[in-house]
Amino acid sequence: MIQLYLSAPRRICIAFATLLSLVSHAVFADVTLYSQNFNTCTGLFASGWTTFSIPVGASWTLGTPTNPDAMGSTMNGSCFLYFDDDLMGSNALPNGVWLRSAAINTADYAKITLEFDLHFRAHDVLTSSLEVYASTSTTVSGNPIAIYRESVTGNLYSQNAHQVLDISAYRGATTYIFFLYKDGGGQSWWAGIDNFVINGTSSVTCANAETITAGSACTIGANSPNTFNGALPSCNTNTDGAVWYKFTAPSAAVTINTHAAFNDILTVFGGTCAGLTEIACQSNDLYGFEGESKYLTGLSTGNTYYLRLSGITNTFGATQGSFCLEVLNGGSTPAPPGNDLCSNAIPLALNQTCTNANANSFAGMENPLPSLDNKADHSIWYTFAAPASGNVKITSNADFSDVLTLFSGSCAGTLTEVAGTDMGRELRASGLTPSATYYLQVSSNFNSVMGSVCVAVQSLPAIPANDACANAVLLTVGAANCTPGTNLMATMDGPNPSCEIFPDASIWYRFVAPASGKIRINSGAEFVHNVALYSGSCGSLTPFTCLDNPNRCGAPTLITGLTPAATYYIQITSAKNPFGYVYGDVCVRITDGNITPVKTKVKAIPEGLYNLNTGLLNTTLNSLGVIPTEQPFNQPPWNYAGSECINIPPANMADWVLLELRSAANSNTVIDRKAALLLTDGTIADSGDDGVTFLNAASGNYYIAVRHRNHIAVLSSAAVTLPNTATYSFSSAAGQAMGANQLKNMGNGIYALRAGDFNADGVATVADFNLFMAESSGINGYFNADANADRMVTIADFNLYQPNAGAIGMPQIRY
């Protein structure tokens, strides 16, 4: 049984793939309805076959050709039907020569196939052709079912190929096959037909039901429209395209599998065709993804039973298609899982790794049905006590399309739905009563989907303090760091933002507009969201603007037209996406929009990353996918809360650095700082730029500090006028850094930051050696002790640290 979490088209493909995988072991139950090998050489046209031409004077011939040009004179050593346009001569009129078969009764079978051997020699210049038609009358209308314009398969009659054509659309009491030879307007070549056969598959009447032997390979068949015969099935009366089979019961119990590639109904009858009694009906596969499987008991050994397979109409899935029907001796009804019923719900402890692997395979569906999916099936149950916060995150780890529904109440009494999702995998619930018992129902989106789960329940924190507008957090315009927050477990408060119809989980901030009436804002949100700006007060908010999922990795958004000194409110909400809602962290920063951003051009070379041979920094961390897409300085000792990030690291990125602008009057005072990309030539820049833009610093003179996570930080020897056209390069001379011996001479005119400050406190001491030992032998990671940035901690990193042991950075940059 297919139990994959896939979209419907993929499921249909898998159903066909499953059917095809059975073909090599299947039985093709064709019934020959008509056969003519033409070997008698006489009497064919007297038996109902006809040949005629337009214009008159040409005809198909039964026999063996006499034209010496044809050489190989027969198709299989005896008579056959042929038309030889070459014998008509060079003055032949344009010929359309018809051959019509006798009437053939194909009404009793769903799939009808035409088979014949064909030789057709096409003309090199004239557009000669052979067309094949089918009809339920003695005349032809519509398009041919096959057209041959290229030779099949050579120049001689003995060179021929077997053809198989589906003519199910022309099934009826009188089916005719027509062959039309067209010579293209002049003397052309010839065509030959031999071994003509019409086969039927899958009887559409009980009287002609095909026999299936229990225990044999599955029998391939197909159904066709407008062929329903017999009483309507009890389990679904919207049906068409019925086919019939029968089997002799080998024992009291059998298992019937349809392997249908359409939405099928399986009906089983006892009795005779004149008086059938329905004993089973099944249509569990609601969408027709994998066919039906039915275990039958109570059969009488040796009795004949009839199977009718039909398609469902007026619903999802195909009504017609192929199948591979089998009857297996014995079987059993699979046992349901232990937690099939609410009363047997498995208790779950909070905040535990999922260890209770379970499956909903063959579970029943116990009410109540989820409000979000009335076709849910195969439910299993869990129970837990709500945490003190009243908020939980439930993860199913399902490998199928699941529905999660949470109930309060009791199994023996009334269950009341309190939360649910038909998106599966994860459900967040808030406002639960602490210590109260809740019941979780895990079900499939529909009947034919089953699989494994491993359920875990995690307690979540309380509702954020700024969940309501009245509790909006005050932001300082121009703050050095962003203000962190989260909308996890937030409710929806206030108006809906103008750029989102279905928002959720709002959190609130406020700020006082600067004198310029302009701000730049970055939400730093890690999820699909909206940022709405309002004027007024919480009781009477007026929409000002709305940002639809601003990119936290991009430049902050400029907002103008604010009233100086007025208070504005920021509402951040989760936006609905095709998979529901996503919640997460934000880090909001607002700067004065009137301050012209200052671009700083700086260059620095960390010793450990520098390759003397190429003169470039290595990109091993980047090329191996180890380099983080989020700035790494949001931890001690830097504690930088910036939201800098990159969607995809550029190919020439070597690592991250933290750049600081310090007061020209006091180099201990940090005016602004920003995480930036360190490129292979030592350039420090924002993504896609040639420098670093600071939004919180005006044009002027600043000391510049460069920090790297495992090299001793450096400070410029003098204040630098910003913005600067000429790049300030720490690598060009020892005197570019404040203090003595702050840079290491690499011997080729390059000066580099000293490696080995693994804890980034500004000095290389035994504490750094201890960190090296702790991370020693680490591999494929972003390690602080990885001085040469090769994603490993080895003796090579110690060899970079050891010569610099005891080195001390300037007091201004030490932590």
Mean pLDDT of 308-321: 89
Tell which of 302, 328, 354 closes a domain.
328
Tell which of 547, 577, 592 closes a domain.
592
Q: Would you state the pLDDT for residue 508?
A: 98
337 part of a folded domain: no
102 part of a folded domain: yes
Question: Domain holding 542: CATH number?
Answer: 2.60.120.380
76 and 159 share one domain = yes
More confident residue, 356 or 488: 488
351 part of a folded domain: yes
pTM confidence score = 0.51
Q: Would you state the pLDDT for residue 781?
A: 96
685 and 614 share one domain = yes
Band (pLDDT 50/70/90 cuts) for residue 273 is very high
119 and 193 share one domain = yes
For residue 730, the one-letter residue type is F
Tokens of 218: 């599955």
pLDDT 10s digits, 620-650: 999 999 999 999 999 999 999 888 999 899 9
Tell which of 328, 357, 391 closes a domain.
328
Tell me the HSE value of 770 on the side-chain side, using a 13 A CA sphere.
Answer: 4
557 and 475 share one domain = yes
376 and 280 share one domain = no
335 part of a folded domain: no
Average pLDDT, the chain: 91
pLDDT 10s digits, 73-88: 799 889 999 999 888 7
Query: 664 lies in which domain range?
Result: 598-813
481 part of a folded domain: yes
pLDDT 10s digits, 10-44: 333 444 444 444 444 455 568 999 999 999 998 88
How many Cβ atoms are within 10 Å of 81's Cβ, its own excluded? 22
For the chain, the domain total comes to 5
Mean pLDDT of 123-132: 90
344 vs 358: CA distance, rounded Å: 13
Q: Would you state the pLDDT for residue 195?
A: 97
118 and 226 share one domain = no
DSSP code at position 596: P
Band (pLDDT 50/70/90 cuts) for residue 92 is low
Please state the φ and ψ torsions of residue 379, each to the nearest 5 degrees.
-90, 140
For 601, residues 6+ apart whose C-beta sits below 8 A from its C-beta are 683, 690, 691, 692, 723, 724, 725, 726, 727, 728
Question: Percent of the chain having pLDDT more than 90?
Answer: 75
Question: Domain holding 170: CATH number?
Answer: 2.60.120.200
How many Cβ atoms are within 10 Å of 153's Cβ, its own excluded? 13
Mean pLDDT of 369-380: 90
Segment among 107-116, 403-412, 551-560, 577-586 with least mean pLDDT: 577-586
21 part of a folded domain: no
Mean pLDDT of 797-805: 97
432 part of a folded domain: yes
- Give CB contacts under 8 A, 24+ apart, made by 466-469: 466/507, 466/508, 466/509, 467/491, 467/493, 467/506, 467/507, 467/508, 468/493, 468/494, 468/508, 468/538, 469/493, 469/494, 469/508, 469/538, 469/541, 469/569, 469/571
pLDDT 10s digits, 335-365: 889 999 999 999 999 999 886 677 877 788 8
Segment among 549-553, 758-762, 805-809 with least mean pLDDT: 549-553
65 and 188 share one domain = yes
Mean pLDDT of 783-792: 97
Q: Which residue has the tokens 């920021």?
A: 570
Question: Domain holding 286: CATH number?
Answer: 2.60.120
Segment among 194-208, 356-370, 660-674 with least mean pLDDT: 356-370
300 and 378 share one domain = no
Residue 185 confidence (pLDDT) above 90? no
13 part of a folded domain: no
Q: Would you state the pLDDT for residue 639?
A: 94
588 and 608 share one domain = no
620 and 764 share one domain = yes
185 and 55 share one domain = yes
375 and 483 share one domain = no
Q: Would you state the pLDDT for residue 27?
A: 53
Band (pLDDT 50/70/90 cuts) for residue 91 is low
Residue 8 confidence (pLDDT) above 60? no
Band (pLDDT 50/70/90 cuts) for residue 6 is very low
Q: Would you state the pLDDT for residue 44?
A: 86
More confident residue, 284 or 750: 750
